[in-house]
Structure 1
């Protein structure tokens, strides 16, 4: 069985279309979506319209929760842009998405960690910045989540970790945004250093689990130009360079 893992699309329709084209000939049995789907200064409505008919197993991210529940004046600019653009039927679709989702007995989909859509799973942020989380930190965040394969997003950072008890945790990276900055819990930046759209493929075989973390070229200049047209030069730089 081959599972394609999408996460953190953030309304970047050109990147999403490139990823869907890349995975199409690869014998994928199931494609899943780990949330943060539309928020950002790009193409929120068009991205929702592209995904809704596909019926992919999909969970919500922190940005879906925020743009549906917070008052506009309390939203960040990315959520506010998406919330103002989305139609009622698109918001209804987002509102119906679960926070986590199990597929069979062996696969768990989360956005951040099993307990929180805002927590980093495979990275840790402290006063020095962001770093790869230690084995003990990851074990604590995984807790007793009963799944051989845990799929997470949120940090936009492709990474694979196997816990001491044999569970595999996979972050495929971000389809739509290769770099960002955040102020919580300490100011930090996350950078992949390249503008490509990212996703993952997990193949489940009798011999075990094999992971392919993929980086896909697309027209990131078109995405960056859309960000600039919507007043977000910070996004334009991230989209062009993979740097904040």
Structure 2
């Protein structure tokens, strides 16, 4: 195998995919066609395509060919508790939060069941659209126990509620249970997000607890299907001999 040609094929195709010259879903030329283009063997081409596949640039389907994958999806961590402000800083992309609602209300019936409280208890309802690179791609609907958080403003919601809770309120946020599902878009999703023709959305439900185990927050975080991939890190437990 000619390593220089192998490297050239890999570099050429990564650049074409990263610059958008080859769009997501496009089928690549056949191995024979690429081999002819570079005046090399199919084995060399096959090795380059395998490396492209390993690094997430293409998906190879036996008997059908190789297709370009979406490399622009943003990684959203499943494990861990990360605020949107922290996530956007990690992504390094222009982002902002649009606050649509910050209001203290008696807890709605469906939310009361999630927070395990009565409808007479009050909660802070916060509705925020998250914009990344001038596209509204996440809709967060948060409910916080008012008994735990006596004051909350739109200014705080536009910045970072977690920074406010951990800093000004000295609360210790400890852990959360998360549930992920794909659901049909709602009228509110259509109104507050840039969905295009999408008919479904990824919903992440968070049940967040303080260090003393108090369940103080219930969140529905609604994500555009084409913009995120949900990632986790898992380590296999090895049984002791």
Give the TM-score band, short-chain normalised: under 0.3
Between 1 and 2, higher relative CO (CA 8 Å, sep ≥ 6) is seen in 1
Q: TM-score, normalised by structure 2?
A: 0.26
Higher Rg: 2
Q: TM-score, normalised by structure 1?
A: 0.26
Richer in strand (by share) = 2
